[in-house]
Structures are given as C-alpha cells and as structure tokens.
Structure 1
C-alpha cells in the first residue's frame, strides 16, 4: 500500500453562495490518526465529504493519493457517514456479502471477525438492530476496507457512553494506523485525544490551527481539550 496522503489548496465550498468552507489549505502525509475538531456547524462534515469525493469544491484543489478526488476515489477511500445509510431490509451477513461484491478491497474475513467480537447476530435484519448495534455495524463495514484513507464523520455522535466506548475500541483494535491514514471528525475531543496523532481545529468554515498533537501539547503545556477551548473561543 502506498503512503497515504491528503492535499488541499485554497479550498472553498459554497452552498447558495454562502461559504461553508473558506480557503482551506493543508497537507496530511503518512499513516496515523488525524482529528478534525470543532463545534457543530464548523464545517467538519463538508470538509470530510470533499476529501471523500462526495462533494466538489467551489474553488481550490483537493487531492487524495496525488489524484484529484471524485466519486471514483472510492478505491482509495472508505467513508463512514454520520447518517444511518444501511439497507434496513438486509441482514448483517447479506450486507457483508454485498460489500464483498462491490469493493475489491473489502475483507469479508475481517468483517466477520469483528462481528463475532461484537456478538452481533449476522442473520438479524438491520431494521431490528438497536441504534448502537447499527452504529457498530456501519463501523465494521468501513474498517473492513483495505484502503489507504479512512474517513469517519462523527463516529461517536448521538450514542450513549457504553456504545461510544465500544466504537473507540473497535477503531483502535481494527484500524491499521501503521498503514492507513484515518481522519475523523468529532466534537467529543476528550474521548479521542489519547488516540490522535495530528489535529485540525475548525471554526466557522475555517481551519484555525493544524498541528501534530504531541507538539501542540508540548507547546501549550495543556490538553487538546483546553487548547480547543482556547483557539475556538
């Protein structure tokens, strides 16, 4: 697998002439866990959709693995939406077999291994799963993709504490952060701080600060939570 890379240069995204993102530029190079941090409405989801090739910028350049992103970028990127996008009429087993057919990089063995770890019933219809188990299943699908870049939009949002703990464990144990670039957005910074290698703070559609997490902690002499409060105030 080639070294993962995400590149943005002067990226602006507008909806009905209103900017959702303004003049965003950064380069993320190498494997690890990258956090896009900010309050709701700060532009995190728009940014991740641009990286995943689900949106096109109004201006500027977005590249993943040295290529301009498009809907064809899915061969390099696995995207976990904050929305519930599962087909409710399928079972977990049917969903896994579906992804095995549509994504050549999908590991059926890894998916079933995680399903067993979670004690999920592979034959139960998705519509009958709890909200927490649907979230777990969504994550299983994303983590089973053997791609350079994993994009996760608010994987902890709207879940109770026990489910969030399970989600984090699943990510830590199954994301190949030695080979993959995992970029995730959240406003639950305290829960993910220990896992972050690099951070991007967002406010009002702008990138306020982008830095290595350990360097930032040493420079500021405080946690990322405290730094987020400071820079986004």
Structure 2
C-alpha cells in the first residue's frame, strides 16, 4: 500500500484499523469466509484460517463477527458467494501495480478499479502485463524484538521458507505459496507472531519516483483502498 515499502504498508493497515474499523472488519470477514470455505471451519486443521484469525484479533474484531464469517464459509449460515480476482495496471510514473479483490460481483469490481485508475493518472492493463515484475509468494513481516535472525532461520527454513531478509525495520520471511501454511504453523508453534502474513506480490525490481509522482501515486493508492472489494494493492516503486 501507500508509503510505499512493505513495512509502510503494514503501518498503513494498522493506522487504518481505528479510522476505518468497519471496512477492515468487512475485508477480514471475507478472508475468513473464503478460508473456511476452502479448508473448513476448524482453525486447528486450517492453518490459513488460523493466520487470518490472528489478523482479526489484532483488529479487535468481535467474536460474533468472526463466528458468523466462518459459518458463512462452511455453509452453516447463508451468505453471498465471494470470488478472488486480480487486476494489473500502471500508476503515475509508470509504476507497475497489482490489485487483489474479493468480490461478489466481478463486473462491478472491475469497473470500480478501472475508474479509479483512470481518475488518478493510471491505466488498467491486461492479465500478465505487469505480473512478470513481481514474485508471487508467501511473505511474513516480523518485528525485530520478537525473534532473532538465527531463530527464524532454524524455524522458517526448516518449514519450507526460501529467504529471510533482515533490515533495520525488521525481519521478512519469504516462502513458496505451497509452503505458506506450513511456515505459518511453524512460526506459531515457535511462539513467533508475525506482524503481517499474506500471499503477496513482491517486486523483483523497483522504480525510482520523484515527490510529485509519489503524491499522485499516494492518491491512487488511497482511492483504491476506499473500494470495498479491494483487499491489497502491490506496486514496485521505491
């Protein structure tokens, strides 16, 4: 999201929880429903569901909301049918962008995303137009005070992670998508709570932008974030 590093995205999400609590709850609810639909409603047997439950509790989402979302996914309660979709495009300054949505109406979602791109100096592109600029992988962000790089190497690499990057901001663990649930479970069992855990689009290279472009890009990010269906936005600016 805007900011625009992976750590800035995390801070942006945490800051948005209080300002846009209803919208955050709605997005987490959709994730819970999809996770329960795919892997069942038992978090002990569904690592993906456990990961999203951590996000729900970090956001102080009420238990009733959580239970309702899970039961919609398992079919115990009636609910709308959600689908995932991914859109690719270019923002100001030629920045490559990938927008992930979860929606009950793909036509509406596509129209909303296209409208925002057009309004804020970007353009939506076809499938595959920018995806080659990114690696689609599991990504965990962990604050430095929660663990050491040595402990992460022992826990995460053994579980299938293929890269650990430590910077001044914290630790980043990357893994192939099929290993995401196993790495998530290994971190949980080791008592290491990620600040963020998601299937991300990680840029292979970045584009330098000036202050003017950065401001325009911020507005585009914020406008996309206002769309209810949008779950995540990934971009390759520095």
Shorter-chain TM-score range: under 0.3
Higher strand share: 1
- TM-score, length basis structure 2: 0.24
TM-score using structure 1 length: 0.25
In terms of fraction of residues, the more helix-rich structure is 2
